[in-house]
Amino acid sequence: MASSCCSSSVTFFNSHSKPNNPLASPVPAQANSFLRFHSNSSSAVLRLRSTPAPPPNAHSFRVMASTLTAVEKNREPLKIMISGAPASGKGTQCELIKKKYDLVHIAAGDLLRAEIAAGTENGKRAKEFMEIGQLVPDEIVVMMVKDRLMEPDSTEKGWLLDGYPRSLSQATALKGFGFHPDIFILLEVPEEILVERVVGRRLDPVTGKIYHLKYSPPETEEIAARLTQRFDDTEEKVKLRLRTHHQNVESVLSIYEDITIKVDGSVSKEAVFEQIDTALSDLMAQRAEKMGSAVA
Ligand code: AP5
């Protein structure tokens, strides 16, 4: 089922260590990919390469067909978290993931900017923290994200949580509310690239699309004329945001280490998406296989 997988490589932390970890389940024979864990002292590396699927015989084909019907009926919505430093490409990848997997994209930063735009008390307070690159206090963020996750579209279609949780207390609160992701994606990008991405970023207020003056320029003059820049997209402010990120990222990772994949976010956005897409396709194939064994 992996659509493209020839050169991708992703790392799962200790993903073999927990028996009920969905990512550690046996690999489906039907999946059009080959997965192998290489253990070392602290992590297991999952490598993906294409291999032809074995030809199904008549019996296995019948089993597969009935299984797929049950799988479709019982499909559990996908739940994804995506994390990374400022401008590591979270929003850009979410656009691509959402397009292919039809999930509800919930970005903590966007929810906060909506509060600011609406002129609410929470928005006014949030802006004070965002101006200095610090985390907005939990009493504003935690319930705001929880409420969005509980909306009917999120529970029915599945969700893609972007930039949340960003601290141990947020991760713990989310766990307490019963929200567990299937996979935690961490985008890794060297710091010197991040600053260039931030200062060149522009947003289209009409479509919400993210552009970059150099890497993703607007398609037309008309779009170029209406692009806006975020108030916290300066070199000075991104350095403050980066410091906050480094202070918190390890504690969040510790909560999701068994379902974490590290993705190289320094390559083109298409190449980043290819790594993510491969991991998601394999995750879905594993879930289908599990469901298949349960109904067989
Ligand atoms: P938030 O809005 O989440 O900002 P951020 O984490 O700093 O991340 P960005 O939105 O800046 O970057 P991104 O990773 O989405 O990158 P993008 O795809 O746009 O948070 C802002 C503030 O809100 C925080 O500082 C905090 O104060 C508050 N906040 C948010 N969440 C909170 C929480 N949970 N708790 C408390 N407070 C919270 O890409 C960036 C640019 O690079 C674009 O121009 C894009 O075109 C370009 N680009 C992307 N990918 C590539 C690529 N592969 N190659 C070349 N260019 C690329």
**Span 239-264, pLDDT tens digits:** 999 999 999 999 999 999 999 999 99
| Any atom of ligand 1 within 6 Å of the Cβ of 4 | no
With beta carbons less than 8 A apart as the criterion, state whether 272 and 265 touch: yes
Q: Which residue has the higher pLDDT, 50 or 149?
A: 149
Q: pLDDT tens for residues 129-162? A: 999 999 999 999 999 999 999 999 999 999 999 9
With beta carbons less than 8 A apart as the criterion, state whether 145 and 164 touch: yes
With beta carbons less than 8 A apart as the criterion, state whether 218 and 225 touch: no
| Any atom of ligand 1 within 6 Å of the Cβ of 173 | no
Q: CB atoms < 10 A from the CB of 73, how many?
A: 9
Preceding amide of 190 cis, omega within 30:
no
Write down the catalytic residue from 79, 127, 230, 269.
230
Nearest CA to ligand 1 atom 52: 269
| pTM score, whole prediction | 0.79
**What domains lie within the chain, and their CATH numbers?**
10-51+72-188+234-295 (3.40.50.300)
Among 81, 82, 83, 90, say which to mutate for ligand 1: greatest number of ligand atoms within 8 Å of CB.
90
List Cα–Cα distances, 138 to 132, 165, 173, 241, in angstroms: 16, 10, 9, 17
List Cα–Cα distances, 185 to 3, 139, 217, in angstroms: 18, 26, 26
What is the structure's pLDDT at 261? 97
The helix-helix angle for 235-256 and 191-200 (nearest 10°) equals: 120
Which of 5-9, 208-212, 290-294 is the least confident region?
5-9
Known catalytic membership, residue 113: no
Among 125, 128, 135, 273, say which to mutate for ligand 1: greatest number of ligand atoms within 8 Å of CB.
135
Q: Which residue has the higher pLDDT, 25 or 164?
A: 164
Average pLDDT on 225-235 reads 94
Confidence of residue 295 (pLDDT cuts 50, 70, 90): low
